[in-house]
Structure 1
Amino acid sequence: MSAPSPHPRPEKGPRAAEAIFDATLRLLAERGYAGLTIEAVAQEAGVNKTTIYRWWPSKAALLRAALLRARVLDIDVPDTGSLRGDLVALAEQVTALVTGVRTRAVVRALASGTGLADDELAALARDFFADRFAREQPVFARAAARGELPPGADPKLLLDLIAGAVWVRAVLRNEPVPPGFAATVVDAVLPGTG
């Protein structure tokens, strides 16, 4: 059972927002950030570029909205009743994002912005990951309330270790993520829970 997102999808934007977001992410994956243009997004989404500019004044603003609001990149915050179960479910969602047919190239394009001279894309990547971390906080609040997290535990470190293992395997090594990998990683990070 999934808890409602602490960041409900804002309704701001044109009716064609999802088509615009999909086009933005598809073009990011195909052309990279430097090749992404408002004009190309408008053509792909079947809208006027003035529609896009009315809602998003720049390429960076449009891409930020697409990263934070596109359904294809959404996560469901799990509530399995245990920290281990929630972390396994989150790791499985991360795996789906970094290996999925519609999302793999987007994730790789986004990751390519970190560490490059293009500070704008790096800032967008930071915003994306900060948003995801904020959405995942209920997992740790519930775990703390159940006594599964010791005082002073670092939720960001736990997520970095778990998601990092998925990213290294799928994105950096470009290797398949085997079935059960999410549970194996979580059990390595949370010893004694497997």
Structure 2
Amino acid sequence: MNIQNGPRKAEAIFAATLELLAEHGYERLAIEAVAARSGVNKTTLYRWWPSKDALLAAALRDSGLFAVDIPDTGSLRGDLLAVATQIHRLLTSEHTAPVVTATLTAGPRRPELGDVSRSFFADRMAREKPIFERAAARGELRSGADPVVVMDLLAGAIWFRLLLRGGDTGPNFLEEAVDTVLNGAA
């Protein structure tokens, strides 16, 4: 759903959804609570989103909270470094990190969150596609290189290091991750 084509208070609805998710976790996220916090009747929510999962997917995809700027630095390396920096910011910001944590911790127990994740990351990949189109036009990307694999390797390195390994994810790590994805480890 494009936020311009949604209910008038879509941003308030999305903000309430993500705040409640961060505060109470996925299991206790309820349409009624979102309606109360956003000041919208719950029938309005159900008119636009038939389930909690549909609402959460829309909030993750369409709210300004997880917005990213698609860079155009003039090089694939520069664009990927800018994207990596934004991914890092989203995973560490006091406003977004609790939402990421709540979504990740609920995932193994709630298979329906897989649809939410797939929707979010498909949308994100569609937005990142111009990075790879420009890189291919400049001759920086080998024929047949899969942008999804590139982004999975890059984002996966950041997610794993930050959320599981607990290691340093500063600028030097981000540069190393980008360079390793682009050039390989050999």
**TM-score, normalised to structure 1's length?**
0.87
Report deviation, 1:176. 4.8
The superposition leaves residues 126-154 of structure 1 with CA deviations (integer Å, 9 ceiling, x where unpaired) of 21112111211110011001000011112
SS in 1 for 2:59: helix
Q: Which runs of 5+ in 2 are unaligned?
A: none
Give the total of aligned pairs: 184
Distance across 2 between alignment mates of 1:10 and 1:173: 36
Structure 2 residue aligned with 1:5: none
RMSD: 1.8
- Residue of structure 2 in register with 1:170 after alignment: 162
Deviation at 1:122, TM superposition (A): 1.8
Q: Percent same amino acid among aligned pairs?
A: 56
Q: Distance in 2 between matches of 1:52 and 1:176?
A: 41
Following superposition, the deviation at residue 47 of structure 1 comes to: 2.2
> Which residue number corresponds to residue 116 of structure 2?
124
Residues 111 and 125, structure 1, Cα contact 8 Å, conserved in 2:
no
Q: 1:71-101: CA deviations, max 9, x gaps?
A: 0111111111100000000101100111111
Q: Which residue of 128, 146, 158 corresponds with 1:154? A: 146
CA offset digits 1:142-191 (Å, max 9, x no partner): 10010000111121121111111110122223445223332221112223
Give me the whole-angstrom Cα distance separating, in 2, the residues matched to 1:73 and 1:157.
21
Letter of the 2:6 partner, please give it. G
Out of 72, 75, 81, which is 2:68 matched to? 75
Written as runs of structure 1 = structure 2, the 5 A alignment for 1:20-169 is 20-114=13-107, 116-169=108-161
Secondary structure at the counterpart of residue 112 of structure 2? helix
Tell me which amino acid in the other structure corresponds to 2:148. K
Quote the Cα distance in structure 1 between the aligned partners of 2:98 and 2:166.
12
Bigger share in helix: 2
Give the CA deviation at 1:17.
Answer: 0.8
Give the Cα–Cα distance (whole angstroms) in 1 for the partners of residues 17 and 165 of structure 2: 26
SS at match of 2:37: helix
Q: Which amino acid aligns with 2:152?
A: D
User: How many Å separate the matches in 2 of 1:175 and 1:19?
Assistant: 35
Indicate conservation of the 8 Å contact 1:23/1:45, yes or no.
yes
| CA displacement 1:30-87 (0-9 Å, x = unmatched) | 2222111011111221222222222222211211110110101111111111000000
Mapped to 2, the partners of 1:26 and 1:176 lie a distance apart of 27
The CA distance in 2 between the partners of 1:57 and 1:130, in whole Å, is 20
CA–CA distance in structure 2, aligned partners of residues 178 and 13 of structure 1: 38
